[in-house]
Structure formats: C-alpha cells, structure tokens
C-alpha cells in the first residue's frame, strides 16, 4: 500500500479542506469486473482472487453474470465449464483441498462456494478485500431490443431485477437511471453503500450512445476502459469505428453535455473484464491489463464505493500516480506521477469550453448478416480539446473562466506488454474530470 503524500505543501493543506479527499487515506488497487466458474470465467472463484492477490491488488469484485454468488447449492457439471481441465482442478486441490463433488446422470459436478464462504476464506484485513457484486444483463443473451446494456452492481446483498429495454434505444436513459437507483436503494435498505457501473459502452456495436449516458443523471460510474471491450463485426473496421466516438471522446462528450445539463460528471473505471486466466496475449480478457486505484481511508467495501462515488480514484494501464488534487477555491487540478526508472512522461490536461458547438450530425449504419443496424452521431471537435501539455512528472492546470471541466491524461513512453487494439500502446493513467 502506498501512503498518500501531498506535494506543494501549502497548496494542498488548503485543498484537503476543499476537495473532500482524505488526508489520512491510502491508495488501493483493484479490479471491479471479474468472471469465474459461477458464469463464463475459466477458473474457480478462489483462483481468480488468488491471481489478483498474488499480483499486488487490494480488492476485486466477482461480477459473474446475472447472479450474486449466494446459492449454497450451486452445482455445475465440469464438462459445461469454460476451458475446464484436470490441471485446473489439481491446482485447486493443491491449495484448497478437494472441492465438493457429486455425479448426476453420469456427469461429474462440483459445488461452487458462495461469496460469504469466499470472503471468509480469502479476505485479509487491511490487505485484500472481496466486494460482493454481479453483472446485470438485459436478458439471458445480454441483449434486449437489439442493444446490449450491462452493468455491475457493486457491494450489494442480492441479485436485483434488471430493467429491460424496449424495442429500441429511445428509453436507454431511463433504463440506465433505473439500474443506478435500484442498486443504490439496495445499499440504503441494508445500511451500506452500493453503486452500479455501466459496462463497456462501445462493445460490441456502440450500443450505449454518449447522449443517453449524458442524460442519465442518476449514473455515477461507467466502464471507461474495459480491456478487450472494443467494437465487434463491421463496427471494428476503421471505416465504421472512425465514424463513431472512441474511448476518449466518449468520456468528453458525456462530461460536456452532463455539465451543461446541470448533472455531475460521470466517473470512469478501468477493468480487465476477466474471463481467461490460462491464456495471456493481445486482445484477450485476461487479468492485469488495466485497473482502478482508489483513495480511501480503509480497505472496506463501503469506503471503496464511497471513494468511487466522489471520484477519488484514477484509471491506469501501467502508470502509477503519487497524488491527484483539485482545489475548488482556485479551480486548479494538480497531478504528480510516481516515476518508474528510465520512463518519460507527458501530462495532458483535457477539457471543453463553455461555448462548445452542441450540434451533432446523425448517420445510419445498415444491418448486415452479422451486425445490427445502428444510428450514430458525429460531434463537434470543440469537445475534448487539449488545454495544456507538460513533459515531466508533475503539472497543474487552473480552470479558465470559459472552461467547463478539466481532466488529466498521463502518457508514458513505456510500451504495454499486451495490446487490445482499442487502447493506448503505452502505459497511461487518467484522472477523473473536475469542474468548479
């Protein structure tokens, strides 16, 4: 764990009182999108947690599809499990002993442990935490009305009803708002803090458009960087993908329109969306590709989710930050990198001006045999412009009178080990957007 240290001391003594950031807090590294044998991952949940624990993470959320891991009689046929091998079983037995097994109709089954059993076995106070969660899907095929809409319910006590889309995406904003309110109410009803994270908006065919998310005022979190979560089919081809928004422009479009609508910014999370723990390579959904680093007072679920809710965290695929501060009084964002030996850094401050062009041109992409028809919008290049760029490990930017918000991107010259085809080639970190 890395103790939070302030820099520019006089500046930050005041900013601690103004930002809501916790001076006694620590940085905690985690992954909030993880699959296991409970759905379509290829390892036992204990083995998924072990990978993250062994590689320096402090928390994960197991977010298997459409169910919180509560069923004490969750028996699954081994032959139906993704990439089941006897080697996987042998490794499990070596560390945890023999799982409960039985035979039904000549097929071998194993019992999977519940989240409560897993927490009892795997949680280590102050070092490693499992946050209860699941990935909510609109129907068994994860699609409704031809649109994919998924979200991770974080720190919940049960599997909650999923609001279904109608035959088109016109009510997508309503669906997103209902998802957020339903999950948040679970926390309120049970005396803890719960939030939903809207997942991979670009995957698989640009299903969640930026204006729908911009209008979803109840949503606080979304999956900004989902490893492997790029477009599929014809939408992955440059001639189509380039007509749409990308990872960076999506965030700026959403942020700009939310602020002019009078809504708070939506905060971006980076996840592995882990499914595969045996095969590592480009364009995979394996662990360790990108992660979220949260500043919280304690390594407890409520503290982590509260920090997410207030935007006290950053996303990264390799760059580690030492400090991030926004002083509301001076309207200044200051960042400092924890440098790696021999690596160079550039800090970009990105924002949008208050008088930005809000028009958008509509275009249509026709249906093909393997890809659905989609409507898209081309937005003004006024959105998401570079406000300042500085080479080095620390920099600050003071919002001008005509700025809506500012966020920082820290790019390094260190090439990432794995490439996902839709992310940066080099290790990068992103702060949250800050506005007056």
| All domains of the chain in start order, with CATH | 16-74+112-430 (3.20.20.140), 75-111 (no CATH)
Given a cut of 50, whether residue 5 has pLDDT beyond it is: no
Dist. CA 253–CA 249, nearest whole Å: 6
pLDDT computed for residue 418 by the predictor: 86
Per-residue model confidence (pLDDT) at position 162 = 86
Say what the pLDDT of residue 228 is.
Answer: 81
Give me the mean pLDDT over the 149-170 stretch. Answer: 82
> How many whole angstroms from its chain centre is CA 147?
20
- Pair of tokens at residue 2: 């890395």
For 285-307, letters b (16+ CB in 10 Å) and e give: bbbbbbbbbbbbebbbbbbbbbb
Q: Which residues are CB-neighbours of 105 under 8 A, at least 6 positions away?
A: none
Of how many residues is the chain composed? 436
Q: What is the mean pLDDT of residues 222-231?
A: 92
Structure confidence at residue 23 (pLDDT): 57
- Of 395, 325, 431, nearest to 17 by C-alpha is 325
Contacts 24+ apart (CB under 8 A), 181-185: 181/218, 183/151, 183/153, 183/154, 183/156, 184/218
pLDDT digits (tens, 9 = 90+) for 261-278: 999 999 999 999 999 999
What span, in angstroms and rounded, lies between the C-alpha atoms of 278 and 224?
25
Placement of tokens 């097929």 in the chain: 107
Assess whether pLDDT exceeds 70 at residue 129: yes
Q: How far apart are the first and last CA of the chain?
A: 31
Model confidence pLDDT, tens digit, residues 181-199: 999 999 999 999 999 999 9
The per-residue pLDDT for 11 is 36
Q: How far is CA 176 from the centre of its chain?
A: 16
Res. 168: pLDDT tops 60: no
| 357-371 pLDDT, tens digit each | 999 999 999 998 888
Task: Please say if the pLDDT value at position 169 is more than 80.
Answer: no
Starting at the edge strand found earlier in the chain, the sheet holding 332-337 runs 321-327, 332-337, 394-398
Residue range 10-32, pLDDT digits in tens: 333 334 434 556 556 899 999 99
Closest C-alpha among 194, 139, 190 to residue 161: 139
pLDDT at 21: 62
Percent of the chain at pLDDT exceeding 90: 79
Tell me the Ramachandran region of residue 190: left when phi exceeds 0, alpha when psi lies from -120 to 50, beta otherwise. Answer: alpha
pTM of the predicted model, to two decimals?
Answer: 0.92
pLDDT, one tens digit per residue, over 384-424 is 999 999 999 999 999 999 999 999 999 999 999 988 767 89
The chain-wide mean pLDDT, for the chain, equals 91
pLDDT of residue 40: 94
By percentage, how much of the chain surpasses pLDDT 70? 91
Q: Are 150 and 202 in contact (CB under 8 A)?
A: no
pLDDT of 141 over the 60 cut = no
What is the rounded average pLDDT of the residues 309-320? 98
Question: Per-residue confidence at 3, pLDDT binned at 50, 70, 90?
Answer: very low
Distance CA 284, CA 275 (A): 9
Residue identified by tokens 């998802």 is 179
Q: Are 251 and 224 in contact (CB under 8 A)?
A: yes
What is the structure's pLDDT at 170?
Answer: 60
Contact 28, 293 (CB under 8 A): yes
Q: What integer pLDDT is reported at residue 138 of this predicted model?
A: 64
Q: What is the pLDDT of residue 51?
A: 98
Residue 301: CB partners within 8 Å, gap ≥ 6?
129, 131, 132, 155, 192, 193
State yes or no: pLDDT of 130 exceeds 70: yes
């Amino acid at each position: 764990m890395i103790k939070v240290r302030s820099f520019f001391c006089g500046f930050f003594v005041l900013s601690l009182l103004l930002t809501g950031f916790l001076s006694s807090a620590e940085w905690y590294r985690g992954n909030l999108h993880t699959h296991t044998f409970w759905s379509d991952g290829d390892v036992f949940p204990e083995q998924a947690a072990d990978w993250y624990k062994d590689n320096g993470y402090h928390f994960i959320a197991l977010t298997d599809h459409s169910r919180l891991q509560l069923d004490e009689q969750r028996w699954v046929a081994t032959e139906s499990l993704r990439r089941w091998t006897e080697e996987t079983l042998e490794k499990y037995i070596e560390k945890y002993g023999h799982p409960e097994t039985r035979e039904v109709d000549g097929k071998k089954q194993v019992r999977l442990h519940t989240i409560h059993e897993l927490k009892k076995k795997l949680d280590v106070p102050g070092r490693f935490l499992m946050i209860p969660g699941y990935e909510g899907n609109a129907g068994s095929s994860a699609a409704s009305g031809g649109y994919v809409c998924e979200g991770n319910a974080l720190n919940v006590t049960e599997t909650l009803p999923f609001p279904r889309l109608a035959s088109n995406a016109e009510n997508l904003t309503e669906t997103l708002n209902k998802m957020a309110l339903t999950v948040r109410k679970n926390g309120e009803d049970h005396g803890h803090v719960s939030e939903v994270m809207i997942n991979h908006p670009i995957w698989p065919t640009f299903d969640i458009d930026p204006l729908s998310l911009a209008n979803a005022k109840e949503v606080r979190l979304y999956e900004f960087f989902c490893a492997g979560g790029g477009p599929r089919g014809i939408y992955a081809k440059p001639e189509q993908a380039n007509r749409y928004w990308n990872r960076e422009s999506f965030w700026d479009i959403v942020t700009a329109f939310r602020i002019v609508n009078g809504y708070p910014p939506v905060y971006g999370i980076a996840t592995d969306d882990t499914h595969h723990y045996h095969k590592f390579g480009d364009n995979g959904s394996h662990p360790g590709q990108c992660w979220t680093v949260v500043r919280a007072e304690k390594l407890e679920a409520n503290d982590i989710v509260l920090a997410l809710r207030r935007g006290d965290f950053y996303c990264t695929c390799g760059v580690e930050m030492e400090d991030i501060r926004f002083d509301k009084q001076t309207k200044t964002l200051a960042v400092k990198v924890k440098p790696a030996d021999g690596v160079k850094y550039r800090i970009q401050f990105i924002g949008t001006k208050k008088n930005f062009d809000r028009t958008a041109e509509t275009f249509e992409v026709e249906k093909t045999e393997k890809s659905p028809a989609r409507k898209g919008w081309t937005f003004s290049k006024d959105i998401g412009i570079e406000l300042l760029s500085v080479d080095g490990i620390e920099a600050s930017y003071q919002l001008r009178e005509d700025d809506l918000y500012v966020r920082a991107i820290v790019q390094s010259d260190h090439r990432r080990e794995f490439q996902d085809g839709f992310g940066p080639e080099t290790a990068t970190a992103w702060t949250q957007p800050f506005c007056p």
